[in-house]
Amino acid sequence: MNSGAGRPDEMVLVHGAWHGGWCWQRVVERMATTGSYRTWTPTLQGLGSRRAELTPDAGLRAHVDDVVGLLEGEDLTDVVLVGHSYAGFVVREAADRVPERVRGIVMLDAWAGHDGESMADRAPPWFMDAMRAAAETSGDGWAMPALPAEVLGVTDPADIAWLAERCTPQALLTFTEATRLTGTVESIPHAAIVCHEAGIPFRAWAEEFGWPVATIDCGHDAMVIDPDGVAKLVDAAVATFGPARRR
């Protein structure tokens, strides 16, 4: 959170699989009321408004490049990176590449791995079996169709329709490409926010890495379902990272 005088803190919110920067709209609106953060919501290659860029090669590395490119291109420092779901892999690798720009990382119901691991390595077998089968059936073997919003814990009919209109297919390579970490990322403060357990061990991963864990009482797409709760818990997590170095 902003400690008082000076410009707002920088926060980059990175969406998960099949989504785009648009999915953070409600959280950003809540954060705007405090003036504590200047928020950035990039859309990763091949998704959302960049769906025309979807190719079999639009994998994890391309998405890390997107985030690093934003941090360097806008010369952002003391940044809080927030990664939802798949973007846990994205923000951790991005932070490992430019640690001097990152103040802390918030993992929102997020996947996490060690150097050389991919999401596929960390996933239960049933999960990747389903992803590969869906890509084979509906995506020429390489594009995974978006999961129904109901699978992501969304129950409100209006929200289900909103997500169905906006979610787009994603390259299977994002789930199978191994992360590259030097280990520097582990020296950056992390905090985890976990939702209802739905077959993916987000809490267990956070505990494995030794991160403090907060719980939000909703389904996986928390930024859509409970944006107030997400905004408050992210703000609380940032408070544990200590003051920004530029202050």
Average pLDDT of every residue of the chain: 94
Query: pLDDT tens, 80-90?
Result: 999 999 999 99
Catalytic member of 85, 118, 138, 187: 85
Please state the pTM of the whole predicted model.
Answer: 0.95
Pairwise CA distance, residues 127 & 120, whole Å: 8
Enter the tokens of residue 185. 């990322």
Q: What percent of the chain has pLDDT over 90?
A: 91
Quick check: 4 pLDDT over 70?
no
Confidence class for position 199, pLDDT limits 50, 70, 90? confident
How high is the pLDDT of residue 1? Answer: 52
Query: pLDDT tens, 111-164?
Result: 999 999 999 999 999 999 999 999 999 999 999 999 999 999 999 999 999 999
Query: pLDDT tens, 166-195?
Result: 999 999 999 999 999 999 999 999 999 999
Annotation marks residue 118 as catalytic: no
Domains and CATH numbers, the chain: 9-239 (3.40.50.1820)
Quick check: 229 pLDDT over 50?
yes
How high is the pLDDT of residue 216? Answer: 97
More confident residue, 2 or 192: 192
Quick check: 198 pLDDT over 80?
no
Query: pLDDT tens, 89-101?
Result: 999 999 999 999 9
The residue type of 21 is G
Q: What is the 3-state secondary structure (H, E, C) of 189-206?
A: CEEEEECCCCCCCHHHHH
Query: pLDDT tens, 24-74?
Result: 999 999 999 888 899 999 999 999 999 999 999 999 999 999 999 999 999
How high is the pLDDT of residue 3? Answer: 45
